[in-house]
Copies of this chain bind each other. A is one copy, B any other.
Amino acid sequence: MRYRKIPDETVRRLPIYLRGLLFSLEQGQVRISSQDLGGFIMIKPWQIRKDFSYFGGFGTRGRGYEITKLIKQIKKILKLDVVRKAALVGVGNLGSAVLAHEDFKTYGFDISAAFDNSPHKIGKKVNNVTIEDTVKLSSLKKRKIDLGIIAVPRKAAQETVDALVKAGIKGILNFSPCFITVPKRVKVITIDFTMDLARLPYYMPKS
């Protein structure tokens, strides 16, 4: 296949394929067709095949895809084939939910540090991770942690981000409901669930 930039939409779907594949592996399957995979995850088979085609031939004509092999390939593309250490900042309800989230492990993430600025929380353990003082964020660089998850109140978001960037973080998952500014080299993905809830009524059949 000749070179072409991978569409963002394809990258967005890769983790979904991964979820579907892990599920069907759990079901004891060995091979799967784009048809069947698409059935699970509600994506059209030709979309799946087209997405994979950007990376080369993953399947076998007439037989489908070998699940374990495909999982390995997608993980490699997404750079999830090595354990990725992440730091959480803000251990409130949301932060605690993130820390307890089993799923992350499956996808290669290890949230090995947690920070908060509340004296009540510092020193406590949540899910085997000891909560540290936010002022110690600068230690992340030598601890080889380059991924940050922030779940702090809106007002604290930008300063937290600034501290993370200074500590050498290269990617941020932002749960704070606001816009944050970072240097171009840092990738931010914001999850603002109010924005999602707010478009639900538009699609709901009226009264």
Chain A interfacial positions (CB closer than 8 Å to B): 11-12, 14-16, 18-19, 40-42, 77-80, 84, 86, 92-94, 96-98, 100-101, 103-104, 106-107, 109, 146-147, 149, 170-173, 175, 177, 179, 185, 187, 189, 191-206
The number of times this chain is found in the oligomer is: 2
Bound complex: CA of A58 vs CA of B185, how far in Å?
A: 37
B201 near A171 with CB under 8 A, answer: yes
Q: How far is the CB of A100 from chain B (nearest CB, A)?
A: 6
B101 near A194 with CB under 8 A, answer: yes
Name A175's closest neighbour in chain B (CB-CB). Answer: B193
Q: How far is the CB of A6 from chain B (nearest CB, A)?
A: 9
B196 near A173 with CB under 8 A, answer: yes
The 5 closest A-B pairs by CB, nearest first: A15-B198, A93-B97, A94-B97, A79-B201, A187-B203
Q: How far is the CB of A69 from chain B (nearest CB, A)?
A: 19
* Chain B residues within 8 Å of A171, by CB: 200-201, 203-204
